[in-house]
Amino acid sequence: MKLAGVQNCGLCGIPHFGAAFAHTKCPHLLSDIKIRLMLDALTISTESREEIDLARQVLIKELANPQRPRRLP
């Protein structure tokens, strides 16, 4: 971790370190509304098709996860 340095989330600014630190999951991924807004934003993204498809898969998987804690808007 020291070699990689701290990488802050581009959405919320909080550093997320993966499964070992699941309690620091991005608050944007706890809201169904924000996930749906991100999915909508992918339609106008200028990123490569592969990146867009990967992001879409991750967001849909997160949205469909029944064990995901949900936050009210």
Overall domain count for the chain? 1
Quick one: pLDDT at residue 7?
66
Res 73 pLDDT > 50: yes
Q: Which residue range forms the structural domain that includes residue 40?
A: 26-64
Q: Is 53 domain-assigned?
A: yes
Q: Is 42 domain-assigned?
A: yes
Contacts of 67 (CB under 8 A, 6+ apart): none
Provide the whole-model pTM: 0.68
Percent of the chain with pLDDT over 70: 73
Average per-residue pLDDT for the chain: 78
DSSP state at residue 10: T
Quick one: pLDDT at residue 30?
80
Quick one: pLDDT at residue 1?
46
Quick one: pLDDT at residue 39?
93
The torsion angles phi and psi of 52, rounded to 5 degrees, stand at -65, -45
Q: Is 36 domain-assigned?
A: yes
